[in-house]
Amino acid sequence: MSELLQFTFSGLTVGAVYALVALGFTIIYNASGVVNFAQGEFVMLGGMITVFAHAAGAPLPAAAALAVVATAAIGILLNKLAIERARGASVVTLIIITIGASIFLRGAAQLGFDKQLHRFPSFSGDDPIAIAGATILPQSLWMLFGAAVVFAALYLFFTRSLTGKAVLATANNKLAAQLVGIDTDFVMALSFGLSAAIGALAGVLATPITLTSYDAGTALALKGFAAAMLGGMGNPFGALVGGLLVGLIEATTAGYLSSDYKDAAAFVVILAVLFAMPQGLFGKSAQERV
C-alpha cells in the first residue's frame, strides 16, 4: 500500500510538470490553432536562465522571476517574428515552423549557456517528508502547489476578467471576436507570452528534482503534447487531467512493470483512448465544413 502511495507521489510530481506543459500547448492552440512544439524549450529556458542568473549572483527568487519574464518575452517574439507572419499556412507548415523554432532555441541555449546538466538548490531543503509509509520531497510539494496556483489563477482570469474573456472569444471564433472590437493580435501575443511564462515556471519548479540541460525540452514537449491530446486539445481542464494521468501511468508502470517501458505506457494508453474517443477525454467533436 505504501508502495502505491509512493508511486502516486512521484507520478503526481512529474504529472504536475506535464500538466503545465499541456496547459501551455492548450493556451496557444486555442488562440491560434497552432501546436507549438517549442513549448518544451520554454521549460528548458526557465530552468537554464534561473541556473545561470543564480550562478551569476542573483538571489534565487530574483533569478526565477527573471527567467519567467525573459522566457515570456521570447514567446512573444516567437509569435511576432514567426507565427504572425505565417498566418493562414497549413497545419503541417505551422508544426514545422515551431519545430524549427525549437531547434533554434536549443542551439541558442547550447551556445549561450553550455552542454552540462544543471540544477539549483530546492526551495525548502532536500529532507524527505514521511507520509503514511511513503516519502515526498518538499520540492514536489512546491511543484504541486505551483501547478494548482497556475490553474486556479488561469481559471479566474478566463472567467472573471474582460481580457480573459477576450481570449476565450478569440479561441471560439476569431472573425466574430474582431467584429466586436477585440484586438486579436494582442490576444495572440498575450497567449504566447502567457504560455511561455507558464512553461518557464514549470522549469523553475522542476529543475531542483529533474535537473535541466539545453536538450531537456524535446521529451517534455512530447509528453506535454500527449497529455494535452489525452485530455482533449483546447480544454484547460483536459490538460490538467491529461498531465496528471500521464505522470501517474508512467510512475506506476516504472514501479510495477518495467522502467524501460515507462515512456511507452503513456503512449499505449493514449492510443487506446483515441481509438475509443477520437477527440480525447474532454474534447469537443468537430464537423468538417464543406
Q: Which of residues 149-188 bind another protein (CB under 8 A)?
A: none
Q: Is residue 106 involved in binding another protein (CB under 8 A)?
A: yes
**210 versus 253: smaller Cβ distance to another protein:** 253
Q: How far apart are the first and last CA of the chain?
A: 55
Q: Give the helix ranges, DSSP H, for the chain.
A: 2-32, 39-55, 60-78, 91-112, 138-160, 162-172, 174-179, 184-210, 217-231, 236-252, 262-276
Q: What is the DSSP string of 23-41?
A: HHHHHHHHHHS---TTHHH
- CA 110, CA 113: separation in Å to the nearest integer? 6
> Which single residue is written with the C-alpha cell 525549437?
102
Shortest approach of another protein to residue 152 CB, angstroms? 27
Site string for another protein, 254-273 (x = CB under 8 A): ----x-xx-xx--xx-xx--
Decide: 17 and 143 in contact? Cβ < 8 Å: yes
What is the total count of residues that contact another protein (CB under 8 A)?
48
Q: Is residue 104 involved in binding another protein (CB under 8 A)?
A: yes
Site string for another protein, 183-222 (x = CB under 8 A): -----------------------------------x---x
Q: What type of residue is 221?
A: A
**13 versus 102: smaller Cβ distance to another protein:** 102
Contact positions toward another protein, by CB under 8 A?
A: 29, 35, 82, 85-86, 88-93, 95-97, 99-108, 110-111, 218, 222, 225-226, 229, 233, 258, 260-261, 263-264, 267-268, 270-271, 274-275, 278-280, 288, 290
